[in-house]
């Protein structure tokens, strides 16, 4: 009874969502996902990055042509110029105008604010 192996079951990795065959207590599909899960559990809740799948579907990526600046959703090559486009990142069509909008266009970038450093105090020698 003690050394009897449990039947293998199909599980979903909590980190990347990939399905894999699990034996016994295995939760993660790879060591990289296990380490990512450990790091995410140790981070404070306000610093935890949003969980996105490892690789997005090609149709969910916005590309922009470097020549004519036309945006495409899922197409990596410009139809007008014939030039390969630059990847902007995940996105979707705008609900109002149907033009592709990247997620980076909607999210404001956060720049860290560094406090002003205090001026160095000149040390005075005793007796002066």
Could you state, in order of their start, the residue ranges of all structural domains in the chain? 9-42, 58-106
* CB-based contacts of 51, cutoff 8 Å, min separation 6: 15, 40
The model's pTM: 0.44
Chain segment 67-107, per-residue pLDDT in tens: 898 899 888 888 888 899 988 888 888 888 888 888 888 87
**DSSP E strands, the chain:** 9-12, 19-22, 61-64, 71-73, 86-93, 100-102
Chain segment 43-78, per-residue pLDDT in tens: 776 665 666 556 667 778 889 998 898 899 888 888
At 121 the pLDDT is 47
At 110 the pLDDT is 47
Going by C-alpha positions, the residue among 50, 42, 82 that lies closest to residue 66 is 82
Residue 42: which pLDDT band, with cuts at 50, 70 and 90? confident
Task: Kindly tell me the sign of the dihedral angle through the C-alpha atoms of 16, 22, 27, 30.
Answer: negative
């Amino acid at each position: 009874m003690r050394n009897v192996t449990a039947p293998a079951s199909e599980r979903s990795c909590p980190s990347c969502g990939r399905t894999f065959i699990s034996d016994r207590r295995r939760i993660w599909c790879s060591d990289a996902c296990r380490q990512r899960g450990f790091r995410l559990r140790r981070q404070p809740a306000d610093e935890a990055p949003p969980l996105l799948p490892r690789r997005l579907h090609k149709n969910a990526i916005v590309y922009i042509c470097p020549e004519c600046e036309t945006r495409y959703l899922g197409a990596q090559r410009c139809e007008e110029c014939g030039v390969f486009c630059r990847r902007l990142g995940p996105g979707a069509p705008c609900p109002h105008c149907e033009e592709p909008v990247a997620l980076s266009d909607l999210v404001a970038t956060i720049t860290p604010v560094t406090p002003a450093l205090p001026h160095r105090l000149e040390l005075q020698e005793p007796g002066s």
